[in-house]
Chains A and B, each alone.
Chain A
């Protein structure tokens, strides 16, 4: 099937361009260091001259700190990576002429776009899985074992959160004429969603809530955020369908 032909090319590109490697290294690094930072921050502070009194004020680190650090660090860097890696994915091919070269062939535009999204998704899935293993192991060593399924659920929700930004940035890359414009527009959307997420009640419906839900799940208690889950899935679908609807009308 033609989609898998396009996907094979995109996956090969992820590999050859070292995007998969870079994403994996960054996420694994934060997966490893987050429990470490949570565990040793009070001790590090205590070693700093003049900061001993602050060290005494910090409560002893718990597994909740490790999970919190993991989510905070990973989400910040993963979203930035998602923007950087996706902003040029369509606009660059249009600009360089590879899109025109390929799309006069029997390669439908939906497959062209869809393969890009899935390949980026696979890259982040792989990197998230590796980061999850690293984070789980160090949390186990430094704190206590986490329940496996909730931990996987946390990482699944984190991945869904990243996929929202991947899809939105892909849409931006489709509608704009330059990589910088695509990146700027995507960053604007990121800021907008973050600001909206801080509004009480409204935030419960936005992708950012997936992270806190994941954190709660991993620590044993949870208030499900099905609304945020539905909105996130809806945003992904809307962004992809929107990108396709615009791209199929674009002249190359």
Chain B
């Protein structure tokens, strides 16, 4: 059973169609990256799935509970909004204790969970400082801690690392990675590198529509360009140019593009190219410093898919 199942959800705000018959499913225990440009409908989807907004049409289930029927969904989920706002007059310890009370945890459970979570997000040293004095990064980590108090089955993270500095971002992404297997993480973001780093599956949304949904490797393989890149030593540009000319005559080569000491070879037949390309370079006594099969980045796939969607 999917941890999250969305069937044909639509939502309109005035003249803006925020979500348009969105359908997707997320496997349990995975980290799902919900990728899309700003205004694509990511936050609206999370607001609907957490019960903060209602869809105009369609249905959704989270952790087996239908969204909107009010039966225990809140106990099974955790949510980190894009700009987590905790009560500024409380200390982290007080705030987590309050959340623990809301989840009806015993005093001993609350004390243990508070300690554990403050340590996890690195806020133990400031546990008695008021949240109002925290930096943006600290508030983000505080937000993550509060979302984990009830050990949620499904954790919603709305742009969890977009406002953080590189170090803070790495910490938060590592933390999310560690949650894999413990709970299902539904993470919305527009930062492709974050998805590439931490997510198992990806859903790309644009203008309220799901463009594609797949495991990350599948997606990259599906949109892989059959190409190789060969880089030679600096100063060997002339040899490279001569080799490229011979290469262009080969039937298995579709195109070759040269950029300084690098040549990108797009092929028709990957198997044949694997056998021939390196030996052709060796025969030409080319001083190769790097040879690799070009792996498309998620960014390339994203831009291609969103671009195609935009053209329609």
Contacts and interface: CB of A to CB of B under 8 A. Distances in A.
A and B co-occur in one complex: yes
Interface of A: 2, 5, 8-9, 13, 16-17, 96-98, 100-107, 251-252
B85 interface: yes
Contacts of B79: 101, 104
Contacts, number: 58
A251 B102 contact: no
B282 interface: no
B267 to A, nearest CB: 51
A9 B98 contact: yes
B54 interface: yes
B53 A5 contact: no
A13 B50 contact: no
A101 B85 contact: yes
A96 B83 CA distance: 9
B52 A105 contact: no
Interface string B28-69: 000000000000000000010011111000000000000000
Interface residues of B, number: 27
Interface residues of chain A: helix, strand, loop or mixed (majority): helix
Given A101-B84, A101-B146, A16 B102 contact: no
Interface residues of chain B: helix, strand, loop or mixed (majority): loop
Contacts of A104: 50-52, 74, 77, 79
B74 A97 contact: no
B95 to A, nearest CB: 10
B47 A97 contact: no
B52 A252 contact: yes
Closest 6 pairs (CB-CB, A-B): A97-B85, A251-B53, A106-B74, A5-B101, A104-B50, A252-B52
A227 B77 CA distance: 49
Contacts of A106: 72, 74-75, 102-104
B114 to A, nearest CB: 15
A108 B146 CA distance: 18
10 contacts: A9-B98, A13-B87, A101-B81, A101-B86, A101-B143, A104-B74, A106-B75, A106-B102, A251-B52, A252-B52
Given A17-B89, A105-B74, A100 B102 contact: no
Contacts of B143: 101
Contacts of A98: 85-87
Given A2-B102, A106-B103, A251 B86 contact: no
B104 to A, nearest CB: 8
B99 interface: yes
B48 to A, nearest CB: 9
A8 B86 CA distance: 16
Nearest to A13: B89
A16 to B, nearest CB: 5
Contacts of B81: 97, 100-101
Interface string B83-111: 11111010000000011011110000000
A102 B47 CA distance: 13
A227 B72 CA distance: 43
Contacts of A102: 102
A24 B154 CA distance: 46
B102 A107 contact: yes
Nearest to B84: A101
B89 A105 contact: no
B47 A251 contact: yes
A251 B68 CA distance: 12
Residue of B52, B75, B143 with most chain A CB atoms under a 10 A cut-off: B52
Contacts of B87: 9, 13, 98
